[in-house]
Amino acid sequence: MNQTRPLSYKRAICYSGFRDNQSPDTGVFPSESEILEDLLLLSGHWSALRVYACDVHTERVLRTIERERLPFKVMLGAYIGAEVNNPNCPWGGVYEDATLAANKEANRAELDRAIAWANRYPDIIDVVSVGNEATVDWTDHLIEPETVKAYASDVRSQIKQPVTFCENYVPWLTSLAELAANLDVISIHTYPVWEYKTLDEAMDYTRKNFEAVQARYPDKQVIITEAGWATASNGRGIPPDNVGEMLQREYLEQLLSWAEEQQILVYVFEAFDENWKGSDHPLEPEKHWGLYRADRSAKPALSIQR
C-alpha cells in the first residue's frame, strides 16, 4: 500500500502542547481550545508539525487542524516503550518482565492507532514515524533494531504515507543499516549544544552530522527531525554559559538558512517550553527548548524571517 515519494521542503517544528500542570505522565492533556490557541500562534511561521505519540493530545491536534482547516502537514509519531532492558541508561532503563511484556502490547496498540489515523487523515498526515530515540545506547525505552524493522514493515504495508524512524545521528552510522533499508525516509537528531559545541562550532557540526548519514545512505532521503538550542541550563549536561535566548536565535537563523538553501526538511525542536520535563529544577535544560516560553510569550528566535 505504501507509495514511496520524497517529502518536500517546508518550515517545520516539533509541537508538544503540554502546559504547566499538564503532562502525559499524569494524563492531563491540553484542551482543544488550548491547542487551537497554540496552532494559531504557529500558523504563518510554520507549515509542518511533528507530534510524538498517538495519544489524546495528538488526536485533539488532528481533530483541531481538520475542523479549523488549518494549513499544517503533520509528522505522526508512534511512541514505543521499552521492550528490552538497558542498564546503560543513566536515569533507569531496567524493568520487570511484566512491564516489558505490557509495553509490547501497548506498542502494538500504539502502532495500530498510527495506521488508523494515517488513513483517517491522509490530507494532514504526510509521514509516519514508528518510534523516537529507541535504539540509541542511552535510551530508557530500548527496542531492538530488528523489532523496529518489523514494526516499520507492518505500518508500511497498511498506509500510503512514507514511513520513518527518528533517532540520534550516531546509530544510523553504526547499527541501523538493516532498519534503514526498510524505511522510506531516514530521520536524524543533531544537538551540537548537548555535545559541548559552541555557537561558532555548531552549524558546521550539524552539517557534518547530516552529511555523514546522507553519505552512508546515498539512495535515501535524509531529514532532520530534531535540531535546536536550549535557552537555560542548571549545568546538567550543558554549561550554563553556552545557552541563552540570543544563542538560540543565532543558531536557528543559521540552521534555517542552510535548510532553505539546501532544501533539507528540518523540524526545529521545539515550539513551546515544557515545564513538566526533566528534574524539578527550574533551569533544567529539558524544559527550555521552545521558541515560545511556557506562558506562550515569544523568545527572540521567533523573529527570524525566512
Cα of first residue to Cα of last residue in the chain, in angstroms, is 36
User: 8-21, pLDDT tens digit by residue?
Assistant: 999 999 999 999 99
* All cell numbers assigned to 13: 517544528
**Cβ partners under 8 Å of residue 183, min gap 6:** 152, 163, 164, 165, 220
Distance CA 163, CA 153 (A): 9
Backbone angles phi, psi at 189, to 5 degrees: -115, 140
User: 212-249, pLDDT tens digit by residue?
Assistant: 999 999 999 999 999 999 999 999 999 999 999 999 99
271 with 16: CB under 8 angstroms?
yes
pTM: 0.97
Q: How confident is the model at residue 83 (pLDDT cuts 50, 70, 90)?
A: very high
| Domains of the chain by residue range | 11-231+265-272
Q: What share of the chain is helix, strand, coil (3-state, %, to 5)?
A: 40, 15, 45
User: 137-171, pLDDT tens digit by residue?
Assistant: 999 999 999 999 999 999 999 999 999 999 999 99
250-267 burial code (b ≥16 CB/10 A, e <16): bbbbbbbeebeeeebbbb
Backbone angles phi, psi at 27, to 5 degrees: 75, 20
CATH no., domain 11-231+265-272: 3.20.20.80
DSSP type of residue 302: G
